[in-house]
Chains A and B, each alone.
Chain A
Amino acid sequence: MIETLIKIFLFGAVVGGIWGLVASGFSLIFGVSRILNFAHGAAFVSSAFLAYALVNEGYSLYFAVSAGLMLAAVIGVVVYALTKPVRDREVMVIIVTLAFALLVQQVLLVLFGDRGVSIEPFVEGVAEIGGVKVTHMRLLSLALAVICLTALEVFITKTNLGKKVMATAQDSRAAMMVGIDIEKIFLFVMVLSSLLAGFAGILYAQIFAVNPEVSLRALIYAFAIVILGGLGSLRGSIAASFIVGYILVITITFLGARWSEFVMLLTIVAILVVKPTGLFGVEE
């Protein structure tokens, strides 16, 4: 029984940590610029594919990962540029970002085909914790995710730039009136969020594998998590990521793998029925 609990704790935390990186960025973009970025999954998979391709070409893993992250940042800039002219029209934003996501997916399909690709892990080997085998890469991913999410929280709440981001999220017009260049903030948030998604994609490709279709999966997970946590609530998104991670792992353990996503989505719907604003959302 203790082994099972340890397994649930560790595996749930790792899954939650990776999705936390994706969802926190998605939430941050919506919180600050009120944009539902449907191209968020594109940064997730593109960074992983570029890193994979560069490693295969003989470049070092760390150079390849850095290049992958740079590509994610570039995708953030492109999404910013594409959405800027239509930012006030929500439907147009959705169409533009979705079209861009599909374009990226098609490019990846043409370049790499429909099969999954893996990136070699930062660390190899397996640890045994309480009788449960866990790969070093999973443990490292959990640590990295926690570090990134904590750093993000500290950055937002403690630094000057972070406070400008929060001010823009609370009221962009008021922020503008006190001298904050909100366009720069929008651009910064878009790049930061894409970097988080890109990093999550690289970790995901090291533990699992990515294929072009995973971009849609990442988007659906991020969207579901952000809604569960409360749209625009960074802390809510992080908490919801771990809830989703644990629901998935507990379902696999006790009900079977076939039910994992079904139970996860059912739980989200049930929570939203009880609390329509999400766990940490507030009614506007």
Chain B
Amino acid sequence: MRYAKAVLTVLILLAAITALCAQPEKAEREKVVIGVIGPMALPEGQAEEKAVKLAVEEINAQGGILGHKVEVVVGDTKLDSNTATSEFRRLATVENADVIIGGFSSGVMTAMMETMAETKTLFLSDASSPAHAQKVEQNYEKYKYWFRVSQNNGSTFALDLADMVKFLRDSGYEVKKVYVIRDEHVWTDPVMEALKPLLEEMGVEIVKDVKIPRGYSEYEQLILEAENLNADLIMPILAISGTGDILVKQWATLKPDLLLAGHDLSAIDAELYEKTNGMANYEIFLADGGALVTAPPTEKCREFVEAYKAKYGHYPESHQAYGAYDAVYLYKMVVEMAAENGEKDPFDPDILVKYLVRFNASNPVQLTRTIAFYDNHDLMWGDEYVRNWISQWQDGKQYIIYPPSVANGELKLPPWIQK
């Protein structure tokens, strides 16, 4: 009898455990946790956090994801690889984040991708180094959880810059000589490597290639040198220096007979005009991340920037906001697609990867930008997808001036240009 009781107890326990294990996913889950990670003292991280919180607020107001309330947890990388990996691990394992969004910038991203692979966490990310997508190519199973959402692969800057020169020529401004000012940083080397042959093909000479350290401010000497070398334009390739605002200010003060046209991250700041007392006027730049406050490429983008301003009192402080906002909606979409298709666990990262890759060249998704992925999970580049639109500051507003499919303004040359 005692033996039978023991067997019965074991059977009941087994049945209970089996029943618990067999509970449907939906019944177990109380909430969806979205992690956002970035350097929270910098505009890039702050914009990511604010954009994610805004998207989550909107989604919760509409009933959450599959009926679950969405919660946001925040990790601060402090732009340091060690801190970033610790924070990523905390979000993934302690906070149980279902997906992590953000991750500016490239060096920090490389480190976090290892923690992502280890914890098998879906990572809808920022940063622009081509090396990240190469990892996915080389070891798909390990790194497949990574998708670049915020901006294009950095090497596409060369294509955009070459297009910029071509566009200027087509618009009647002859460009034969270019003076390059770029960050003394590893990210600009592949851009230059790719840009040189493109410009050579067009018969454009790079009269000087100047590297500058972070915080550099003495641009007037470089502008005068560019003028002496008969350059037709100064092409900045600046993101890390942090002083693109000084370059544009000194260019506008000296009024040399050459254009300022290139990639200057500071020009994307919606408040640059005000911060430079209007000196940013006529600067031609690339709208990194494929969106501008005054030239939103989609209706959702227009709604987003206004909602952002209504909630925070100002427009997005960096383009990372668009990617982070899109990432939340992208996640919601794939989870719902997985559920509709009857997936057993629609939150399983391995399952969701299969749904994310469905957004490809022939099936893009329109959010604040039009998003599609390459096979290596890199963000698709092109006029019909996301690219760094050729833009210009004109009388306090940013306008996209090329390509025509999204342009809301035309090129305006500064009045002091005589060429």
Name the distance in Å between B263's Cβ and chain A's nearest Cβ.
17
A9 vs B26: C-alpha distance when bound (angstroms): 74
Q: Is A109 interfacial (CB-CB < 8 Å)? A: yes
A118 lies within 8 A of B275 (CB):
yes
A208 vs B275: C-alpha distance when bound (angstroms): 12
B245 lies within 8 A of A116 (CB):
yes
Q: Is A81 interfacial (CB-CB < 8 Å)? A: no
A155 vs B55: C-alpha distance when bound (angstroms): 61
Q: Is A217 interfacial (CB-CB < 8 Å)? A: yes
Give the contact-size bracket for chain A.
35 or more
- A248-281 near B? 1/0 per residue, CB < 8 Å: 1100110011101100000000000000000000
B246 lies within 8 A of A208 (CB):
yes
Interchain Cβ contacts within 8 Å, total number: 93
Given contacts A209-B243, A260-B218, contact A118 B279 (CB under 8 A): yes
A252 lies within 8 A of B245 (CB):
no
A260 vs B184: C-alpha distance when bound (angstroms): 12
Q: Which residues of the other chain, A, contact B10 by a CB distance below 8 angstroms?
A: none
Q: For window 269-296 of chain B, which residues contact chain A by CB distance below 8 Å?
A: 269, 271-272, 274-277, 279
Name the distance in Å between B243's Cβ and chain A's nearest Cβ.
7
A11 lies within 8 A of B220 (CB):
yes
Q: Is B222 interfacial (CB-CB < 8 Å)? A: yes
Q: Is B344 interfacial (CB-CB < 8 Å)? A: no
A126 vs B253: C-alpha distance when bound (angstroms): 7
A113 vs B313: C-alpha distance when bound (angstroms): 14
User: Which of B210, B224, B253 contacts A256 (CB under 8 A)?
Assistant: B210
A7 lies within 8 A of B224 (CB):
yes
User: Which of B246, B249, B254, B277 contacts A126 (CB under 8 A)?
Assistant: B254
Central interface residue in A115, A124, A249, by most chain B CB within 10 Å: A115
B222 lies within 8 A of A113 (CB):
no
B184 lies within 8 A of A249 (CB):
no
6 residue pairs of the A-B complex, CB under 8 angstroms, read: A56-B274, A116-B266, A133-B224, A135-B253, A257-B216, A260-B213
Write the residues of chain B forming the contact surface with A, with a CB cutoff of 8 angstroms: 41-43, 184, 210-213, 215-218, 220-222, 224, 242-243, 245-246, 249-250, 253-256, 266, 269, 271-272, 274-277, 279, 317
| Given A249-B221, A252-B221, A257-B218; 19 other pairs, CB 8 A cutoff | A11-B220, A113-B43, A114-B242, A115-B275, A116-B242, A117-B275, A118-B246, A118-B276, A118-B277, A126-B255, A133-B224, A135-B220, A135-B254, A211-B242, A213-B215, A256-B210, A257-B213, A258-B211, A258-B213
